[in-house]
Amino acid sequence: MGKVVLGVAVGVAVAACTVAALVVGRRVRSRRKWKRVVGVLKEMEESCETTVGRLKQVVDAMAVEMHAGLASEGGSKLKMLLTFVDNLPSGSEKGIFYALDLGGTNFRVLRVELGGQRSDLDPDVEQQPIPEQLMTGRSEDLFDFIASSLYQFVEKNDSVQSPIMKLLGFTFSFPVKQTSVSSGVLIKWTKGFAIRDMVEKEVAGALQQALTRKGLNMRVSVLVNDTVGTLALGHYHDADTVAAVIIGTGTNACYWERTDAIIKCQGLLTTSGGMVVNMEWGNFWSSHLPRTSYDIELDAESPNPNDQGFEKMISGMYLGDIVRRVILRMSEESDVFGPVSSRLYLPFTLRTPLMAAMHEDDSPELTQVARILKDVLDIPDIPLKARKLVVKICDVVTRRAARLAAAGIVGILKKIGRDGSGGITGGRSRSDIKMRRTAVAVEGSLYTQYTMFREYLHEALNEILGEDIARHVVVIVTEDGSGTGAALLAASHSSENVNNIQLI
Ligand code: ADP
Ligand code: MG
């Protein structure tokens, strides 16, 4: 009997040891896997590092590239395009002006009434989708369609037959080589448009012909892109506005430059002595940019490799996809996200607004994160610590983006001597320098809708400039500058202001 008891006891002990060994083994393996995932995160954090020192190098590189792009055609990855916009709205404009905003799947028509004094603008706006077949058809069909919509819009508000010529600002957010403030040639289509007979053709001219065909007494008096419209609206409200930045699906910036600094265009004369320059900053590149293996893969797999490098680190089109790539790598390295979800292999499955929603999930159990991982990436039921990891990835990616955008802004300020560094001589501290109030207009949902992005951007501006200088720099959100701004420019470039600068 005693032997039997002893036998059972030994058996139980052996079984217990085996189970314990299994549990310990699994724990050790799981800890090792977790360590690997943390290693991936750490490596990514290090490659995304944006210390103030590094950001200042980016600032300097931006200013240097701006100089190079202004010095000669093709002198930099920054195109620094002339816009021929030589004055900005001041608030004193009077009259009724129209605008047409074409730059994506929708187009908008606007009408704004200006009373000669700065006031809150309340434009009439109508938006319409562009029928898909018109995006890839013939240019005449597209412009006839737009002209008809404009005709109906004018009819609702004014007399179409009026002998007084109406002025129209045209925001056309595709790359254009501008030849005057109201004319320019399409370099290439982007964003799903592919109307072959339009490439290298005069854009405003094509619209003008359609308006004439329609019998609309309206002149396309300015042709601009969305950043220039944003700067115009910013300046209308605040005369200290010197630059505009768009941070939405893509990113770009423009600013007010002295004509004598535009060396590649000798003999350019404007009565104001200045002109808005469209930087096309999405294509900025510098070896100081903190690049990761994820950025390299994203770029290589994109339809435009080696293009738009800055944009691919900053804008709404890409941030979600960088996060997807990091989650995929972690998922391949371990099973903290369960078996690798096939959705993780699909580019752009995780859109930036959803990434932002995960990042800003403040529920204790991170329920939004759990929901989005399950619904969008097909990753169900992962432990809280793995969900926290996802939030951390979003944070690293967004923080880098916002801080780089801030460095870009300071780069512009440095180029035009508004970063407080100009004139520092021995013994004087930055706070002794008289710094002029400087406003930067910003538009785009990444900035306006994503609180963490906005906060990180402002924090970085403070860090780079120092609080004494940063106090003088204000970032102003301009709602719908891309449309309203074009109408304002049509106003500020009308009759008395127009001096039709041309290349000589
Ligand atoms: P666009 O740049 O196309 O003219 P927007 O300025 O509205 O238009 O920007 C749209 C982009 O902003 C989207 O592609 C998306 O990436 C990003 N976005 C929109 N909403 C949010 C949000 N709530 N949080 C983060 N990003 C957002
Ligand atoms: Mg936009």
Whole-angstrom distance, CA of residue 499 vs CA of residue 495: 9
> Does residue 35 form part of some domain?
no
Q: For residue 89, what pLDDT is reported?
A: 95
Identify the burial level of 73 via C-beta atoms within 10 angstroms of its C-beta, where 0-12 means exposed, 13-18 middle and 19 or more buried: exposed
Dihedral, CA atoms, 91, 268, 245, 230, nearest 10 degrees?
30
Q: For residue 434, what pLDDT is reported?
A: 72
* Residue 269 identity (one-letter amino acid): L
Q: For residue 26, what pLDDT is reported?
A: 61
Ligand 1 atom closest to the CA of 315, numbered from 1: 16
Q: Evaluate if pTM is beyond 0.85.
A: yes
> Ligand 1 centre and the CA of 51: distance in Å?
27
At residue 103, φ and ψ (nearest 5 deg) are: -170, 10
Q: Are residues 401 and 300 in the same domain?
A: yes
Is a pLDDT exceeding 50 seen at residue 62?
yes
- pLDDT, tens digit, for every residue of 112-130? 999 988 888 889 999 999 9
Is a pLDDT exceeding 80 seen at residue 30?
no
| Of 425 and 115, the one with more pLDDT | 115
- pLDDT, tens digit, for every residue of 202-232? 999 999 999 999 999 999 999 999 999 999 9
Question: Of the candidates 488, 494, 498, which has an alpha carbon nearest to the alpha carbon of residue 113?
Answer: 488
Whole-angstrom distance, CA of residue 481 vs CA of residue 123: 11
Enter the tokens of residue 232: 């115009």
Q: Could you tell me if the CB of 316 is within 6 A of ligand 1?
A: yes
Is a pLDDT exceeding 70 seen at residue 423?
no
Is a pLDDT exceeding 70 seen at residue 9?
no
Whole-angstrom distance, CA of residue 345 vs CA of residue 216: 51
Q: Are residues 150 and 203 in the same domain?
A: yes
Q: Which residue has the tokens 């941030």?
A: 319
Q: Could you tell me if the CB of 320 is within 6 A of ligand 1?
A: no
> Does residue 402 form part of some domain?
yes
- Give the domain range for residue 461: 50-82+238-422+429-479
Catalytic residue (one of 56, 77, 86, 226): 226
Catalytic residue (one of 35, 156, 191, 385): 191
Dihedral (CA of 119, 254, 351, 336) sign? negative
Cα–Cα distances (Å) from 269 to 259, 273, 415, in that order, read 7, 7, 21
Identify the burial level of 335 via C-beta atoms within 10 angstroms of its C-beta, where 0-12 means exposed, 13-18 middle and 19 or more buried: middle
Q: Are residues 247 and 388 in the same domain?
A: yes
- DSSP type of residue 259: G
Q: For residue 158, what pLDDT is reported?
A: 84
Q: Determine the Cα angle at 208 with ends 205 and 210, to 5°.
A: 115
Would you call 26 helix, strand, or coil by DSSP? helix
Question: What DSSP element (H or E) covers 95?
Answer: strand 94-102
Ligand 1 atom closest to the CA of 320, numbered from 1: 16
Q: Are residues 392 and 257 in the same domain?
A: yes
Confidence of residue 502 (pLDDT cuts 50, 70, 90): very low
Question: Of the candidates 168, 219, 175, which has an alpha carbon nearest to the alpha carbon of residue 200?
Answer: 175
Domain's final residue, options 195, 224, 253: 224
Q: Could you tell me if the CB of 449 is within 6 A of ligand 1?
A: yes
> Does residue 139 form part of some domain?
yes
Q: For residue 191, what pLDDT is reported?
A: 75
Q: Could you tell me if the CB of 444 is within 6 A of ligand 1?
A: yes
**Spatial contact of 184 and 203, defined as CB atoms under 8 Å apart:** yes
> Does residue 102 form part of some domain?
yes
Question: What DSSP element (H or E) covers 5?
Answer: helix 2-47
> Ligand 2 centre and the CA of 269: distance in Å?
31
| Of 434 and 25, the one with more pLDDT | 434
Transcribe 312-381 into DSSP letters.
HHHSTTTHHHHHHHHHHHHHHH-STTSSPPGGGGSTT-S-HHHHHHHHT--STT-HHHHHHHHHHH----
Residue of the nearest CA to atom 7 in ligand 1? 445
The count of domains in the chain is 2
> Does residue 171 form part of some domain?
yes
Residue 434 annotated as catalytic:
no
Q: Are residues 127 and 192 in the same domain?
A: yes
- pLDDT, tens digit, for every residue of 138-169? 999 999 999 999 999 999 988 877 788 899 99
Q: Could you tell me if the CB of 104 is within 6 A of ligand 1?
A: yes
- pLDDT, tens digit, for every residue of 347-378? 999 999 999 999 999 999 999 999 999 999 99
Q: Are residues 157 and 257 in the same domain?
A: no
Q: Could you tell me if the CB of 450 is within 6 A of ligand 1?
A: yes
> Ligand 1 centre and the CA of 449: distance in Å?
8
- Least distant ligand from the CA of 225: 2
Q: For residue 470, what pLDDT is reported?
A: 97
Question: Of the candidates 191, 181, 175, 193, which has an alpha carbon nearest to the alpha carbon of residue 139?
Answer: 193
**Spatial contact of 276 and 282, defined as CB atoms under 8 Å apart:** no
Q: Are residues 100 and 113 in the same domain?
A: yes
Q: Are residues 291 and 159 in the same domain?
A: no
Residue of the nearest CA to atom 16 in ligand 1? 316
Lowest mean pLDDT among 54-68, 181-195, 250-264: 181-195
Q: Could you tell me if the CB of 356 is within 6 A of ligand 1?
A: yes
Among residues of the chain, what percentage have pLDDT more than 70?
Answer: 90
Residue 299 annotated as catalytic:
no
